[in-house]
Structure 1
Amino acid sequence: MLLQGKNAIIYGGTGPIGRAVALGFAREGATVHLTGRRLTALEAVAAEIRDEGGSVRTAVVDALDAEQITAHADRVAASAGSIDISFNAIGLGDIHGTPLAEMSLEVFERPVVNAARTMFLTTQAAARQMIKQGSGVLLFFGGDDGHDPIRDYYIGGFQVAMGLVDTLRRQLAAELGPHGIRAVTLQTGGIVEAIPAEDASRDAIVDMIVGQTMLKRAATFDDVGNVAAFACSDKAASITAASINITAGAVAD
């Protein structure tokens, strides 16, 4: 197994991407420390992991609260002996479909502020433990590694927030690399399965996502979990300050 004996903290573990990565990690032998704001929802995902024979712990943690994040990371490090992986999949805010020229400052800045706060706090808490160990992986999701802006669909501050995450990943990789810590992003062109069936715009969004790919299909939840597990394993030990492209050819490197 790729992650046997590893401890992975996942923030936003009840969301579709958090769940997909949690299942991928657990299948490869990691003990998953699943966090979120709602215990009932956390336990539902944990039950799926246990049903597959995986190891999981749950904790209610607000991934925008510095004290809660630090206290939880300290508990994991003390009880499990290490924090080998930290992955933040919390939602950053709604995508309103409003042009920037017509958007209020409050709506624009919400995902930017949320991204800056949660990504800084969660990676910092993990990095402090990883520095002591001399190893670890900070995993990110989304972003386009500085490629083209999104066309034909207004996503407000969300794309700006993703650019912030990309820059943070690069800086963390530079500062933490000498301590044996890697920082990697899974670069996605959109996960069709994550779009709610009741979303009135779903068909148009699916067509846009799939239409931009070379494979004529989008990455699936299983794809996300499998690539995440590889990226955080020792098999990927030389990958850092990088995005792993799972856009199915929507972005050509």
Structure 2
Amino acid sequence: MEFEGKVAVVTGAGQGLGAGFAKDFARQGAKVVLLGRTLSKVEKVAEEIKAEGGWALALGCDVGDRDQVKASFERIFAEVGGVDILVNNAAYHRSLSVLDTSMEEWDKHINSNLNGTFYCIKAVLPGMVERRYGKIINISSSGAKLFFPGFGAYAASKGGIVSLTQILSEEVKNYNINVNAIYLGMTNTEHTRERIDSDPAVTVKLDEMLQVDEVSKVVCFLASDAAAPIMGAAIDVFGKKA
């Protein structure tokens, strides 16, 4: 199996994309650590992985809180050793114009999306450099390049993720560490379905969106050794609709 003997950490793994990524890594032999703000949600996904014969560890962790990230990775290193694959998927999004964005909302976006990505990278990077191996996949958003009104704070945080990805890639490419990002389009997840139900302006049909399994295939490819030549990429994964 592609990821036999590898340890993969997926943030925001309690539902939607993160849960899909975690399950696919486990199905391909990885030991998977699931991080999520709501422990009961990541525990449920972990139990589903175990029911399929996979290995999973669920940890409650708000990646925007550096102390929680530190504690989580200390436990990860104690239980499974080094991390081979990190997928920074956890995110916060609320659609507000810049005029209506409070400082509290701004901080939520930056902490959850950009700071959380940085904190998790900082936790795994020394070990990856020491072992001269690692795969880091950061989930950005089509909103960071297509300029949707109401996405100011979200787009700023997600655009920062791409810049961080590309600079980090240059810094670590000689250590056999691949760092790449995905500009993600609208995907059929629980969060998206809730947006559709609450916002009549969103008219995209579910079957026109990206599906979780489609995105997961891209993430798993970027985490594989077949993607070793791909460094510092920010890949458009938009599907039919951005």
Q: Is TM (by shorter chain) over 0.5?
A: yes
Specify every segment of 5 or more residues in structure 2 that has no aligned partner in the other structure, as ranges: none
Paired residue for 1:10? 10
Root mean square deviation of aligned Cα? 2.5
Could you say what secondary structure the match of 2:180 adopts?
Answer: strand
Report the Cα offset of residue 148 of structure 1. 3.0
Give the direction of change, closer, same or farther, for the CA distance of 1:201–1:230 in structure 2 (3 Å limit): same
- Aligned pairs, number: 241
What is the identity, as a one-letter code, of the residue corresponding to 2:67?
E
Paired residue for 1:137? 135
Scaled by the length of structure 1, the TM-score of the pair is: 0.84
Paired residue for 2:81? 81
Give the direction of change, closer, same or farther, for the CA distance of 1:23–1:204 in structure 2 (3 Å limit): farther
Q: Distance in 1 between matches of 2:5 and 2:203?
A: 38
What is the identity, as a one-letter code, of the residue corresponding to 1:222?
D
Is 1:65 equivalent to 2:65 in the alignment?
yes
Residue of 176, 194, 217 corresponding to 2:208:
217
Deviations 1:170-200 (A, max 9, x none): 1111111121111111221110333234753
Paired residue for 1:213? none
Counterpart contact for 2:15–2:41, Cα < 8 Å: no
Residue of 149, 155, 173 corresponding to 2:151:
155
Report the Cα offset of residue 33 of structure 1. 0.8
What is the identity, as a one-letter code, of the residue corresponding to 2:44?
A
Report the Cα offset of residue 32 of structure 1. 0.4
Is 1:177 equivalent to 2:157 in the alignment?
no
Paired residue for 2:231? 240
Q: Distance in 1 between matches of 2:72 and 2:104?
A: 30
Q: Distance in 2 between matches of 1:41 and 1:192?
A: 18
Deviations 1:44-80 (A, max 9, x none): 1112212222211122333223333234324433442
Is 1:95 equivalent to 2:94 in the alignment?
yes
Counterpart contact for 1:10–1:34, Cα < 8 Å: yes
Counterpart contact for 1:2–1:229, Cα < 8 Å: no
Report the Cα offset of residue 146 of structure 1. 6.2
Could you say what secondary structure the match of 1:205 adopts?
Answer: coil
Counterpart contact for 1:184–1:231, Cα < 8 Å: yes
Is 1:128 equivalent to 2:119 in the alignment?
no
Give the direction of change, closer, same or farther, for the CA distance of 1:75–1:99 in structure 2 (3 Å limit): closer
Q: Distance in 2 between matches of 1:131 and 1:243?
A: 22
Question: With CA pairs under 8 Å and 6+ residues apart, which has the higher RCO, 1 or 2?
Answer: 1
Report the Cα offset of residue 109 of structure 1. 4.1
Report the Cα offset of residue 133 of structure 1. 0.8
Is 1:189 equivalent to 2:185 in the alignment?
yes
Counterpart contact for 1:13–1:42, Cα < 8 Å: yes
Q: Distance in 2 between matches of 1:173 and 1:119?
A: 14
Could you say what secondary structure the match of 2:62 adopts?
Answer: coil
Counterpart contact for 1:190–1:218, Cα < 8 Å: yes
Q: Distance in 1 between matches of 2:57 and 2:208?
A: 34
Counterpart contact for 2:196–2:203, Cα < 8 Å: no
Q: Distance in 2 between matches of 1:219 and 1:34?
A: 22
What is the identity, as a one-letter code, of the residue corresponding to 1:65?
D
Q: Distance in 1 between matches of 2:196 and 2:142?
A: 24
Paired residue for 2:197? 200
Residue of 115, 118, 141 corresponding to 1:117:
115
Q: Distance in 2 between matches of 1:197 and 1:66?
A: 29
What is the identity, as a one-letter code, of the residue corresponding to 1:247?
F
Give the direction of change, closer, same or farther, for the CA distance of 1:121–1:198 in structure 2 (3 Å limit): closer
Counterpart contact for 1:36–1:60, Cα < 8 Å: yes
Paired residue for 1:226? 217
Q: Distance in 2 between matches of 1:172 and 1:65?
A: 22
Deviations 1:132-167 (A, max 9, x none): 1101011111234963312xx422310111111111
What is the identity, as a one-letter code, of the residue corresponding to 2:127?
Q
